[in-house]
Amino acid sequence: MLPSKDYFSVFNLSKTFDINLTDLKTKFYDLSKKHHPDLSKYSTNKFQEINNAYNTLKDDYLRAKYMKGKTTGEVSKTFLIDILDLEDQIREAEGDSLEELSEIIRHKIEECRNNYQKDDYLAKWAYYRRLENMIKKKR
């Protein structure tokens, strides 16, 4: 269920998960130019709405979470233990082993992306994003 403020309608997009990101970016730039606060003091709220909508829709996870219209759900203790284990592996990894972990996380994120409608996958996605960010910071 979508929240009451419809970010898809801001950009005149269909309410589907798979959107054309190039089209979204083009529409974002067009609307940003039209509603920039420097052009009118009354455009500040509209400009903020455009930015919020764009930042949500351009990110697969945030878009999935937005479309679900609620919090992410629960994960099992076993899953959390696996996440802690992956965190330890990331902290210790270097070079090829870090790349292997990165690939594992990418596959897990893709699995979550393909199953985002299920609460547990959306919840797991949040953890995998954090692991992905750990890897990016380590590089």
**pLDDT at res. 51:** 95
Query: What's the whole-model pTM score?
Result: 0.85
Quickly list DSSP for 23-92: HHHHHHHHHHHHT-TTT-GGGHHHHHHHHHHHHHHTSHHHHHHHHHTS------HHHHHHHHHHHHHHHH
Asked if residue 46 and residue 21 are part of one domain, the reply reads: yes
Asked if residue 99 and residue 49 are part of one domain, the reply reads: no
At which residue do the structure tokens 């090829």 appear?
96
pLDDT digits (tens, 9 = 90+) for 113-127: 999 998 899 999 999
Model confidence at 5: pLDDT above 80: no
Last residue of a domain, one of 43, 68, 93: 68
Q: What is the mean pLDDT of the chain?
A: 92
110 within some domain: yes
How many Cα atoms within 13 Å fall on the side-chain side of residue 48? 4
CATH code assigned at 26: 1.10.287.110
Domain hosting 45: range is 7-68
